Structure 1
Amino acid sequence: MKIKKVVLSIASWAGTKREKLNISWPKIILAIALFATAAGALFSTKTLTDVNKNIALAKEAARPANVKIIKITDSTCQDCFDVDTAVTDFKKQNVKVEEEKIYSFDSLEGSSLVEQFAIKKIPTYIVSGEITKSNLEAFIKNNGEITNNSFILTKVTPVFINTENKQEVGKVAATIITDPSCTQCVDPKLTIEGLKKADVKITNQKEVAWNSPEGQKFINQYKITKIPSLLLSSDIDFYDNVKSNWAGIGSVEQDKTYVVRNLPLPYRDLEKNQILGLVDLIYLTDLSCSDCYKVDAVQKPILKQGYGVGIRSERTVDIASGEGKSLIGKYNITKVPTILLSPEVEQYSNLKDVWKTVGTVESDGWYIFREMQQLQRSIYRDLTTNQIIDNAAATPESSETK
């Protein structure tokens, strides 16, 4: 396109100068043609050179980086970071390993390398060679740093050896403060299992009752107000995935002990000296309606699994019994089967927030489920009309047909 513009410009200029220079048009056209041919050849040569250059750059980028790897390990640390797996991950980055060595931290070579590269954590590995190739840029940025023209793996997760004091770092002791009398209370062992799945190394685990001398010692030392609780030793501080989320779970004390404080119900409140979150559950049923939905099979899982409600007691009351008639009259219940929850359920804020869409809260604090349409494909009795209602069919039938 640029050549075309140049040629046209020359033609225009030649036209204005032809008479002054007394040059015939055939000679002008011949000169322009010769210039265009020469310019085109030069342009083609430059384009071909650029293409060859780009091909060479692409080949160079695709070529594996030639590197040498040195691993520094400590055979005495059985729980330490798996450096072999880390090296395997590095080898997936389009590299050609020309040499691979391994040195022990306590060897002359190992200690010399630690000092030379100011290494803080081991096991680790050092990579020398073509570490500046573009295909390694992202990996190096995310996993370590460049020191003395070599890549050092610094993203070493616990357990590891602190090279300054030669101590193992990342072994966590867990102490569970239990309440044997509260079988419904949250089990801290579930938290420990979750930590283990997150690769936290729990090397020591014990349980103490809250009312034992040792339990009272921990409670007083850390001003614990809710039981059960969980204490994690200071080495948990080296696990960034736990540390970054701990503010929503508990506190970090001056001695770096991590204390679980935000517990789901039910739990023992030591200030009130009682267990909070245990609810009494009544199933109000109609034994004469064999097709009516099974209230315990439907409602109980919603309460326990959906909202975490701790059930202290549960019992079934038939509408034909004296107590059943009393409950119907007292709370003006018009649809059965249903459930009644004792006032303690108010402590479950997540359930309290949605209850206004499914039921009522009575003046004495009891929660009554009323909105049967919220239960899909359920069959129930409307006590006002004495009809059996099938939510799925949405057409009432006379109770005489049931």
Structure 2
Amino acid sequence: MVNVVLLVVLVALVAVSAYFTFSVPKKAPVVEQKPQMVEADFLGADCAECFNLSIAFDFLNKQPGMKLAAVRNRTSSESEELAAKYNITRLPALVLTGEIENRTIPSFEQVGDALVFSTAPPPYFDVKEGKVKGIVSVIKLEASCPTCFNTSILVDQLRASGVVLGQVQSVRAGTGEGNALVAKYKIEKIPTLIFNSDALEYEVISQVWPAVGSTESDGALVLRVVNPPYVNVSTGKEEGLVSMTYLVDASCNDCLNESTYQELFEKGFGMRFSEIKSVDVSSARGKLLVNKYAIELVPTVVLSNDAKLYPVVDQVWSQAGTQENDGSFVFRSVQLIENVVGGPITYKNLTSNSTVDTTKSALEEPDVSPATPDLS
């Protein structure tokens, strides 16, 4: 489920709207002195599509011992000479001249006789290519699959994180246009997303893209790691709907509510279910499962083979449970659920026929694995 991780990384790591962060200077001791007079050239001030650099002036006006004597707004064409002089490759940019001796300002660097800020985040105007970069177009290649992953969630999260989107187009698989995209990019799973190359201007995308997608010869970016459920293009079948069986002991009144597992797998793993059923260990079916999989701790869950399609399962399952010869996944480290609920839990040890309270588990259950990774 790397693209779910991608979703978690998109929300947690970025707020591109705050990408250009100026540190508020600490107040210096009050000393009466003449402020340094500084002039500012605002290069590329006419770029309406570009990142709004005007917020920098509030920051500059707060610099101690400095005063903006003049501000000159220059269009992109008017900025060419200064851009060449100070090796500026992207606009908007700020060039400060005048009384800048011994002056350092966060995010500005000394270039010749000026202090220059030239690293505005996207969208920006590429001086060499003469065009704006960082406006991302998106094609949502969608399937007729109500339970499949909703690509709009990812698109909305990208937008909320500060990625500037241009055209967002929906294309249905099975149409002429959809079939052409599948063939052109050899797409194997639908739904998916296709971005233009401008998406790589954003670190939130470029840092994770090698792990989740491909860059095509025409510059397009195709999302390859698709969160289940999805349609397998080669078979036309939906994959990734998991059957989950709760294995419970009705005689344990204080035991963990088995529905906690559903919340864990839905929210933590992004898992979707075709069916959820509950089986008591005293029933014929329950006894069969206990014996077949040598289950010791309940309540627990048995997941069908489709769980393997979720990358997070592959990443953590060796610490949480086992995959059986028939492909089923059995959750065995029941004590780990304590990390999910954020407090002690109670479960049943079928081997000793005893109830275990995790507040006392160190004394009552010495065989419990000491490795307790956080699955929350």
**Do both share a fold (TM > 0.5)?**
yes
1:105 aligns with 75
Amino acid at match of 2:69: E
2:66 aligns with 96
Find the partner of 1:290 among 246, 250, 253: 253
Amino acid at match of 1:83: L
Instruction: Flag the 1:95–1:249 CA change in 2: closer, same or farther, 3 A.
Output: farther
2:345 aligns with 378
Structure number with greater CO (CA < 8 Å, separation at least 6) is 2
1:315 aligns with 277
Q: Distance in 1 between matches of 2:128 and 2:333?
A: 66
- Superposed CA deviations along residues 89-143 of structure 1, whole A, max 9, x for unmatched, are 3444445335223345289x76776677676544333322133x233276432xx
Residues 376-385 or 312-321, more deviating? 376-385
Instruction: Flag the 1:312–1:68 CA change in 2: closer, same or farther, 3 A.
Output: same
1:136 aligns with 104
- Superposed CA deviations along residues 212-264 of structure 1, whole A, max 9, x for unmatched, are 32222222122222222211123334445533543223222222222222334
Amino acid at match of 1:82: N
Q: Distance in 2 between matches of 1:198 and 1:315?
A: 38
1:146 aligns with 111
1:361 Cα shift? Answer: 3.6
Instruction: Flag the 1:104–1:309 CA change in 2: closer, same or farther, 3 A.
Output: same
Structure 1-normalised TM-score? 0.67
Instruction: Flag the 1:290–1:184 CA change in 2: closer, same or farther, 3 A.
Output: farther
Q: Distance in 1 between matches of 2:226 and 2:290?
A: 36
Q: Distance in 2 between matches of 1:239 and 1:357?
A: 34
Q: Does 1:70 align with 2:41?
A: yes
Find the partner of 1:176 among 140, 159, 172: 140
Find the partner of 1:193 among 142, 156, 161: 156
C-alpha RMSD of the superposition: 3.7
**Residue 379 of structure 1 contacts residue 388 of structure 1 at CA under 8 Å; is this kept in 2?**
yes
Q: Distance in 2 between matches of 1:120 and 1:292?
A: 63
Bigger fraction of residues in helix:
1
Amino acid at match of 1:231: I
**Residue 307 of structure 1 contacts residue 350 of structure 1 at CA under 8 Å; is this kept in 2?**
yes
Structure 2-normalised TM-score? 0.71
Q: Does 1:127 align with 2:86?
A: no
Q: Distance in 1 between matches of 2:137 and 2:234?
A: 27
Instruction: Flag the 1:389–1:253 CA change in 2: closer, same or farther, 3 A.
Output: closer
Instruction: Flag the 1:152–1:330 CA change in 2: closer, same or farther, 3 A.
Output: closer
Instruction: Flag the 1:171–1:317 CA change in 2: closer, same or farther, 3 A.
Output: same
Amino acid at match of 2:305: P
1:339 Cα shift? Answer: 1.4
> Max radius of gyration: which structure?
1
2:185 aligns with 222
- Structure 1: give runs of 5+ residues left out of the alignment: 1-59, 397-402
Instruction: Flag the 1:84–1:219 CA change in 2: closer, same or farther, 3 A.
Output: same
Amino acid at match of 2:265: L
Identity of matched residues, %: 26
Instruction: Flag the 1:155–1:87 CA change in 2: closer, same or farther, 3 A.
Output: farther
Q: Distance in 1 between matches of 2:129 and 2:335?
A: 67
Q: Distance in 2 between matches of 1:283 and 1:226?
A: 30
